Structure formats: structure tokens, C-alpha cells
């Protein structure tokens, strides 16, 4: 919702009330700063009346008064001046439209550049990913025209830290759902260019999306993972590598299986993902110089040969509710270590992904949900670098 000229206005006073999309839980609303101490949601969608919790009233640069604040949501300059409300959009920056989506809780802002580039910088992507002042997302996904014959689109991914990355599995499902729902294609089977190769999402009749993620890269040097002076612990047809964690207060050495699904992954086997030291050990593994391009760190608990539980600490993001490429890498590693069968349900904190792999040289297939949450417009601060 954004301010618009017209007779309709909305007053908010304690307990704060606001208008929200019917299909959107309040936790999904992003905040747009109105002036130095107040925030309001920004979106364009069907609306219904809902309650804005009082504790959300002061998450700007300084806290709102304890008794709350009165806000006028109206763009008429005269009306705003009348009520003493200053809106930063008067000195407008770039405005873009976006769609908020998620795949098993891994959430995304999706942008359409099929009609032309938006010209965003790393600072713009960081602002979009910011959960306090932007929209909030693990990654920002951009749809671009096909770069070559035989392809349907190009798929560009930026992490919440603004860095462009090679691949995002949950994002690829949302990408496919987005272009179909937006009428950018009538196809159910797509060929999409990513930074590291072509993927093939396919929309299924049950509403989920299956993605041919390509064959995993298993040669450590190509992950890349530096094995110099290391001796692998062989298991099944795979191997686990000892990794020293400099400066880590827990165990100084962990064993990791490594693989790339277009982006690097290290997989650790744990007895219980609920008690695994994800928040401390994840960044410690990422900091290892043996991963020159960084790494996504998966913590996998094997429940049976067809079921695993997984948590992933992602590059440039931290722990996410789900990681599609992480699920693929974990299952591939488990199969190679002789622990899993060829099709496995991966239970993440955001939902279940089904991963299938027939063995070396074969593609990994990932199936899971892709959900649109809401749509909106966002105006960047004019001084955003």
C-alpha cells in the first residue's frame, strides 16, 4: 500500500489499526518509514481491516511515545500539512514494484526486469533485504529476458547482504511460479540461465514446482574446497574431510562432506539438529580459508534412509528456514556416504522438500512449494548510495 491522492484516508491511533491484505499475516508486512520516529506498512493489494500490534509503533530511528502516535495515511499535501505529517516521499527516490514470495519459509523479494534494467546497486539490494527498513528477505530474485536462443529467462540472485550469488534452489521454484502467474510465459516447463548454468523448473499439477538442478559438482577443487595437507575419511563412495575451526570455542575439528550445486556447500552430520551449534559453528566453518568463495553450511540429521532433518547457515544471510541447494547437497552427500536412498524427504524448519538423485553424472531433482505472499511498491531513500 502506498499513499495516493483521493478522498480516502486512514487514521491510526492507539491501539493502532491499519489496513492489510486479506491473505497476509501481520508478520509478513514490511515497514516503510514515514518520519523520524514512526513506521507504516507499504503494499498494493486487496485490503481488509486488521490490528497493528502496539509494540510495532516505534521501530524507526527513535521510539514513539509510550501513549502511541496518531498517523494519517494520505498523500494529499494539504491534508498532510494540516495534520503535521511529513512523508519522506516528498523528496522521492527510485520507486519499484515487487512481489514477496517464499519457498518452504525461505523468503524472497522478486523483481521484474523483463522490460528493462532497474539499475539497482548492492545498497539497493541490501535495503530490500532489510527486515526493519526495507521489505525483508533472504534473497532478492530478478527476472531478466533470455540471454540466448533456447532459453526462456535469466535468473539473477542477490543475497540480503547485497552480494550476487550463483544459485538458489528455493528461489528457482518461486521464480518459475512468478513468471507463470504474471503471464510472462504460458509454459509449465522452463529453461532458465543462472550464473553457473541452466536449470529447468517444471510446474506440477499439485501446485508445487520441480526443478532440474543439474548434476552436483563433487570434485573438491571445483566446489571450491582446498584439500592441501588433508586426508579424507572414506565412507561409502564419498568422503568426509577434517576441517580445523580457528578461534572456535567448541570442538576444534569437524568433518564435512563438500559439494556444489552451482554454489558451495559443506555438510556436517549431527545427532540432533535442534541442539546442533548452528549459530556458532556455521560462521566458523564459513570463515575457513579452505573455502575461498565462502560456503553454505548444512547440519543434517539422518532419521531413516528416506527422511532427514536439515538446518542451513547460508552465505551472506545466516540461518534460513530452508535452503533448496542445501537440501540437494545434503542428500547427495548422504547418498554418497551410504546413508540414504535415491529419493529423500528433507524436513526443514520451513517445510518439506523432496530431493531425488540417481547418482554421479545425473541431475538432482528438487520438488517443493512456491508461494506468493503479497505485492507492493517501495520507494528507496533518495540518498541511498
Active-site residue (options: 12, 18, 323, 328): 323
| 186: its cell numbers | 504460458
Domain extent listing, the chain: 10-86, 93-212, 220-362
10 vs 85: CA distance, rounded Å: 13
Residue 153: predicted pLDDT: 98
| Residue owning grid cell 523448473 | 201
| pLDDT per residue as tens digits for the range 339-385 | 999 999 999 999 999 999 999 999 999 999 999 999 999 999 988 86
Q: Which fold has domain 220-362?
A: Diaminopimelate Epimerase; Chain A, domain 1 (3.10.310)
Residue 252's pLDDT is what? 83
Residue in 12, 18, 168, 174 annotated catalytic: 168
Task: Check if 17 is active-site.
Answer: no
CA 71, CA 38: separation in Å to the nearest integer? 8
Q: Do domains 93-212 and 220-362 have the same CATH topology?
A: yes
Distance CA 97, CA 109 (A): 10
Would you state the pLDDT for residue 249? 64
Position 159 scores a pLDDT of 97
**Mind spelling out the 3-state secondary structure of the chain?**
CCCCCCCCCEEECCCCEEEECCCCCHHHCCEEEEECCEEEECCCCCCEEEECCHHHCCCCCCCCCCCCCCEEECCCHHHHHHCCCCCHHHHEEEEEEEEEEEECCEEEEEEECCCCCCCCCHHHHHHHHCCCCCCCCCEEEEEEECCCCCCCEEEEEEECCCCEECCCHHHHHHHHHHHHHCCCCCCCECCEEECCEEEEEEECCCCCEEEECCCCECCHHHCCCCCCCCCCEEECCEEEEEEECCCCCCCCEEEEEEEECCCEEEEEECCCCCCCCHHHHHHHHHCCCCCCCCCEEEEEEECCCCEEEEEEEECCCEEECCCHHHHHHHHHHHHHCCCCCCEEEEEECCEEEEEEECCCCCCEEEEECCEEEEEEEEEEECCCC
Give residue 52's pLDDT: 30
Specify whether 12 is catalytic. no
Q: What is the pLDDT of residues 185-214, one digit of tens each?
A: 999 999 999 998 999 999 999 999 999 999
CA distance 378 to 385: 16
Question: Rounded to two decimals, what is the model's pTM?
Answer: 0.74
| Residue 299 confidence (pLDDT) | 98
pLDDT of residue 40: 35
Return the C-alpha cell found at 236: 561409502
Task: Domain 93-212: give its CATH superfamily.
Answer: Diaminopimelate Epimerase; Chain A, domain 1 (3.10.310.10)
Task: pLDDT tens for the chain, 385 residues: list them.
Answer: 333 333 333 333 333 333 333 333 333 333 333 322 233 333 333 222 233 332 332 222 223 333 332 222 222 233 333 333 333 334 457 999 999 999 999 999 999 999 999 999 999 999 999 999 999 999 999 999 999 999 999 999 999 999 999 999 999 999 999 999 999 999 999 999 999 899 999 999 999 999 999 999 999 999 999 999 999 999 999 999 999 997 766 668 999 999 999 999 999 999 999 999 999 999 999 999 999 999 999 999 999 999 999 999 999 999 999 999 999 999 999 999 999 999 999 999 999 999 999 999 999 999 999 999 999 999 999 888 6
Amino acid at each position: 500500500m502506498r499513499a495516493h491522492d483521493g478522498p480516502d484516508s486512514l487514521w491510526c491511533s492507539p491501539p493502532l489499526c491499519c489496513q492489510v491484505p486479506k491473505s497476509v499475516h501481520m508478520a509478513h508486512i514490511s515497514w516503510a518509514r514515514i518520519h523520524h520516529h514512526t513506521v507504516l506498512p507499504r503494499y498494493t493489494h486487496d485490503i481488509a481491516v486488521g490490528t497493528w500490534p502496539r509494540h510495532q509503533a516505534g521501530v524507526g530511528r527513535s521510539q514513539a511515545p509510550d501513549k502511541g502516535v496518531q498517523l494519517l495515511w494520505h498523500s494529499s499535501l494539504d491534508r498532510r500539512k494540516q495534520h503535521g505529517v511529513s512523508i519522506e516521499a516528498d523528496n522521492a527516490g527510485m520507486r519499484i514494484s515487487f512481489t514477496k514470495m517464499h519457498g518452504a519459509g525461505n523468503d524472497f523479494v522478486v523483481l521484474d526486469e523483463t522490460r528493462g534494467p532497474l539499475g539497482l546497486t548492492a545498497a539497493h539490494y541490501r535495503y530490500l533485504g532489510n527486515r526493519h527498513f526495507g521489505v525483508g528477505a533472504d534473497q532478492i530474485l530478478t527476472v531478466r529476458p533470455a540471454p540466448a536462443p533456447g532459453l526462456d529467462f535469466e535468473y539473477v540472485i542477490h543475497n540480503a547482504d547485497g552480494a550476487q550469488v550463483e544459485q538458489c534452489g528455493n528461489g528457482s521454484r518461486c521464480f518459475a511460479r512468478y513468471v507463470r502467474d504474471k503471464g510472462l510465459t504460458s509454459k509449465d516447463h522452463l529453461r532458465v540461465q543462472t550464473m553457473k548454468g541452466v536449470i529447468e523448473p517444471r510446474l506440477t499439477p499439485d501446485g508445487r514446482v520441480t526443478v532440474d538442478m543439474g548434476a552436483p559438482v563433487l570434485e573438491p577443487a571445483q566446489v571450491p574446497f582446498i584439500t592441501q595437507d588433508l586426508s579424507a575419511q572414506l565412507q561409502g563412495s564419498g568422503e568426509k574431510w577434517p576441517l580445523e575451526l580457528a578461534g572456535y570455542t567448541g570442538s576444534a575439528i569437524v568433518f564435512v562432506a563438500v559439494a556444489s550445486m552451482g554454489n558451495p556447500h559443506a555438510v556436517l552430520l549431527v545427532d540432533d539438529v535442534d541442539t546442533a551449534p548452528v549459530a556458532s559453528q556455521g560462521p566458523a566453518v564459513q570463515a575457513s580459508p579452505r573455502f575461498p568463495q565462502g560456503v553454505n553450511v548444512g547440519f543434517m540429521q539422518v532419521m531413516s534412509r528416506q527422511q532427514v532433518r536439515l538446518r542451513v547457515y547460508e552465505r551472506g544471510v545466516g540461518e534460513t528456514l530452508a535452503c533448496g541447494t542445501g537440501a540437494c547437497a545434503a542428500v547427495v552427500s548422504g547418498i554418497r556416504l551410504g546413508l540414504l536412498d535415491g529419493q529423500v524427504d528433507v524436513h526443514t524448519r520451513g517445510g518439506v522438500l523432496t530431493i531425488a538423485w540417481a547418482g554421479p553424472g545425473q541431475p538432482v531433482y528438487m520438488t517443493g512449494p512456491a508461494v506468493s505472499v503479497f505485492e507492493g511498491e517501495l520507494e528507496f531513500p533518495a540518498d541511498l548510495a
